[in-house]
Chains A and B, each alone.
Chain A
Amino acid sequence: AQSVTQLDSQVPVFEEAPVELRCNYSSSVSVYLFWYVQYPNQGLQLLLKYLSGSTLVKGINGFEAEFNKSQTSFHLRKPSVHISDTAEYFCAVTPIYSGGGADGLTFGKGTHLIIQP
């Protein structure tokens, strides 16, 4: 089984400041990792994902994340935030099976990013 911990339920940041949203996971098998964003009363939009290769992953809207296998972390960063980045952010993992298959995503509880003018 997998578990995901998002260390901050709420992160207030001033506009144009940098931000880091933290995510740690636990799994007995290798996993794919994802970050999603959710605006009020909407579905989830994929920001970025790590499947393999370079541990620094760049996504949409200027976000990036770094996979650290030894620390089982996948923290999300943005160098300069905008008011429009105000949303809920979810970290998620899914196990990798050599024979394929998709058992679904395990999510963290989310981090509410609040951008202050």
Chain B
Amino acid sequence: DGGITQSPKYLFRKEGQNVTLSCEQNLNHDAMYWYRQDPGQGLRLIYYSQIVNDFQKGDIAEGYSVSREKKESFPLTVTSAQKNPTAFYLCASTDGQGYGYTFGSGTRLTVV
């Protein structure tokens, strides 16, 4: 079945370390997205990519970086510059028209 795979499901990071979250899709979708979820805050857009080798900042891009070298993959790096990285991170994808978005099952990142 087609879908989005996020790994790992749980991730612990020491302060000052960079960490990379994986997102892979086999839906042949052009566009991919990273959202951050905090309790009571809804989901906020970090970065998105509508085509390979191109991406745009979302509303809260500071302290994060992404790459899009393959259509299927859109990894997110949480850098040491992100002041409060503990959150639930969700990856999503859609066709080019935005008729429907598919979400992964998420990665919970905790800074220890």
Contact = CB atoms under 8 A, between A and B. Distances in A.
Contacts, number: 72
A105 B31 CA distance: 12
A9 interface: yes
B106 A41 contact: yes
Which of B40, B50, B88, B97 is packed against the most chain A CB atoms within 10 Å? B97
Interface residues of B, number: 30
Interface of A: 4, 9, 32, 34, 36, 41-46, 49, 51, 90, 92, 94, 96, 100-110
B74 interface: no
Contacts of B45: 104-106
A22 to B, nearest CB: 15
Contacts of B90: 43-44
Contacts of B105: 42-43
A45 B48 CA distance: 20
A106 to B, nearest CB: 8
Nearest to B58: A104
A43 B96 CA distance: 21
B107 to A, nearest CB: 10
